[in-house]
Amino acid sequence: MTAADWTAVILTAQLAGTSTLVLLLIGTPMAWWLARTRSPLKPLAAAVVTLPLVLPPTVVGFYLLLLMGPQGPVGVATEALGLGRLPFTFGGLVVASVLCSLPFVVQPLLQAFEAIPEQTLEAAATLRAGPLDRFFSVVLPLARPGLLTATVLGFAHTVGEFGVVLMIGGNIEGSTRVLSVALYDHVEAADFAAAHRLAAGMVVFAVVVVAAMYAVNRRPRETDTEARA
């Protein structure tokens, strides 16, 4: 593989890693809220979170571009805060990836959280555990399989994202040219050997990660001592 290809691989790993971290940080409270709320806003919130699943990534990318552009409200805000403009930067890519991968992280978490019986949480409350304590000592350990699935799906989906990356990030080496774009370039240039190296690599990566996820989730993970939050 060429140095440019390796740059794309490293950039992709950085993007997916950063996005997954951000996704877990915002997706976990979001899923927890969705799982427990009785608010009338729940269906609307659930729809917004699921929207990136049904919309073409290019549509999401297009509106993000407008929002984050010099005339868009987000663009005006970022410039006022001294962050500069987001489109065609790594930061912009992270924002776009997080938005597109959100359903892949929130859905498994939501299912895992909903499967936890209310009685188990109430038992924890009667055993002197406060709300945050309950979340870390009961909810997260019981939702571990869902958490792992969310992490893997979030990471893998970000690696595979193409449409929104092209709209927001463009094709700048070392900054926004990720694997999927680099692969597209190779195919455009009819360099099928180079395309194969990237494509086959991604297939192997996907199989290994997903198989590992199922293997880990199948084993009942239980701990003998409870980790204090």
User: Minimum distance from CB of 33 to other proteins (Å)?
Assistant: 19
37 binding other proteins? (CB under 8 A): no
Q: What residue type is assigned to position 56 of the chain? A: P
- Which member of 45, 46, 51, 142 binds other proteins (CB under 8 A)? 142
Residue 218 found at the interface with other proteins (CB under 8 A): no
Note whether 133 binds other proteins by CB under 8 A: yes
Please tell me the number of Cα atoms within 13 Å of 87 on its side-chain side: 20
C-alpha 13: how far from chain center: 13
> Does residue 124 belong to the site contacting other proteins (CB under 8 A)?
yes
- Closest by Cα among 64, 82, 61 to 73: 64
- Interaction pattern, residues 61-100, with other proteins; x per rule: CB under 8 A: ----------------------------------------
**217 contacts other proteins (rule: CB under 8 A):** no
Regarding 229 and contact with other proteins (CB under 8 A), the answer is no
The footprint of other proteins on this chain (CB under 8 A) covers a number of residues equal to 24
- C-alpha–C-alpha distance, residues 39 and 42, integer Å: 6
Is there binding between residue 129 and other proteins (CB under 8 A)? yes
Give every CB contact of residue 205 below 8 A, 6+ residues apart in sequence.
Answer: 159
* Nearest to other proteins of 106, 140 (CB atom): 140
* Contact status: 128 vs other proteins (CB under 8 A): yes
Report if residue 187 touches other proteins, rule: CB under 8 A. no
Closer residue to other proteins (CB): 53 or 127: 127
Of 44, 122, 191, 208, which lies in the binding site for other proteins, with binding defined by CB under 8 A?
122
Residue 201 near other proteins by CB under 8 A = no
> Using an 8 Å Cβ cutoff, are 100 and 118 in contact?
no
- 105, 104, 87: which is closest to 96 by C-alpha? 87
- Scanning 38-46, 117-125, 180-188, 189-197 for contacts with other proteins by CB under 8 A, the matching segment is 117-125
Q: What tokens were used for 220?
A: 């009942």
Residue by residue, DSSP assigns 40-83 as: TTHHHHHHHHHHHHHS-HHHHHHHHHHHHSTTSHHHHHHHHTT-
What single-letter amino acid sits at 183? L
Find the Cα–Cα–Cα–Cα dihedral 166, 172, 178, 183, rounded to 10°. Answer: 80
Neighbours of 70 (CB within 10 A): 9
Q: Which position among 43, 56, 130, 174 is part of the footprint of other proteins (CB under 8 A)? A: 130
Query: By CB under 8 A, is residue 132 in contact with other proteins?
Result: no
- Which residues contribute to the site for other proteins (CB under 8 A)? 117, 119-120, 122-130, 133, 137-138, 141-142, 221-226, 228
